[in-house]
């Protein structure tokens, strides 16, 4: 019997990039779900124009955890055995999806780690995010006698039989902490696999898309420095 699995993406205000990301995900996943978490831009309309993925909409922005809960329940209800989650902001490489599915044959949860291995071209993480991640990861490891290296990576694979045992109530970005606590006390099998640390790619995309939008409006990139020098705060009148 062929195993059924799904790639699911929580999406919020990603109109400039959502189609590009989904096109790439479809190269590696047989079925794809996008959960539009109350986007205020054109994301919802763009998703509804697609006929090659499943789409669910939240009427309002409920949070990252809420979008994942919706994806989990969809995967359970539709009879999938595995669901792979990844973000829609360019931080996660869809080509790595099959590796997550393969690893999930021997685990209840496969969690990506940006700190398990150094890749050429890795971004430098924002200092505050890295500090918080390290502190929280240490707490999780101390409590549950684990050796995780990255508790906040959104690139994961789950067996739906394991998800069905969870009772997630947190709807914001702290949801993974609730998930870890429940997974530990349910004695679930956890595997970490390395993924590249990518931050700059997304921000470069934002810059490129913004430039293209202005070009389309008839504006041009400045070819020389502005005639009026840029003032720093201490120079302001």
Q: Tell me: pLDDT of 137 over 50.
A: yes
Q: Taking Cα atoms as reference points, which of 13, 72, 24 lies closest to residue 46?
A: 13
Residue 19: CB atoms within 10 A of its CB come to: 15
pLDDT at 114: 81
CB 10 within 8 A of CB 173: no
Q: Please state, rounded to an integer, the average pLDDT across all residues of the chain.
A: 85
Residues 6+ apart with CB under 8 A from 25: 7, 9, 32, 86, 94, 97
Q: Tell me: pLDDT of 89 over 60.
A: yes
What gap in Å lies between CA 205 and CA 17, rounded to an integer?
A: 8
pTM of the model: 0.80
pLDDT at 154: 87
pLDDT band of residue 208 (cuts 50, 70, 90) is low
Provide mean pLDDT across the span 124-143.
76
Which CA distances in Å does 63 have to 12, 26, 152, 232? 9, 25, 15, 36
Q: What is the pLDDT of residues 159-182, one digit of tens each?
A: 999 999 999 999 998 999 999 999
Please provide residue 20's backbone torsions phi and psi, each rounded to the nearest 5 degrees.
Answer: -60, -45
Q: What is the pLDDT of residues 12-50, one digit of tens each?
A: 999 988 999 999 999 999 999 999 999 999 999 999 999
Q: Tell me: pLDDT of 129 over 90.
A: no
User: Please, what are the domains in the chain?
Assistant: 5-235 (3.90.550.10)
């Amino acid at each position: 019997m062929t195993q059924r699995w799904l790639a699911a993406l929580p999406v919020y205000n990603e109109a400039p990039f959502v189609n590009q990301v989904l096109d790439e995900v479809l190269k590696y996943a047989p079925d794809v779900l996008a959960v539009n978490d109350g986007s205020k831009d054109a994301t919802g309309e763009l998703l509804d124009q697609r006929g090659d993925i499943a789409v669910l909409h939240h009427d309002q922005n409920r949070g990252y955890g809420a979008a994942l809960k919706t994806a989990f329940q969809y995967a359970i209800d539709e009879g999938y055995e595995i669901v792979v989650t990844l973000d829609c902001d360019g931080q996660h490489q869809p080509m790595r999806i099959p590796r997550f599915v393969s690893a999930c044959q021997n685990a209840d949860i496969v969690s990506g780690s940006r700190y398990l291995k150094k890749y050429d071209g890795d971004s430098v993480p924002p200092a505050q995010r890295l500090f918080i991640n390290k502190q929280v990861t240490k707490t999780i490891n101390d409590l549950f006698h684990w050796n995780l290296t990255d508790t906040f990576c959104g690139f994961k694979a789950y067996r739906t039989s394991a998800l069905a045992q969870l009772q997630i109530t947190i709807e914001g970005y702290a949801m993974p902490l609730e998930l870890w606590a429940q997974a530990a006390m349910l004695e679930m099998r956890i595997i970490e696999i390395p993924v590249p640390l990518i931050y700059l790619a997304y921000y470069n995309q934002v810059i490129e898309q913004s430039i293209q939008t202005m070009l389309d409006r008839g504006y041009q990139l400045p070819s020389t420095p502005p005639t009026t020098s840029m003032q720093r705060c201490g120079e302001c009148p």
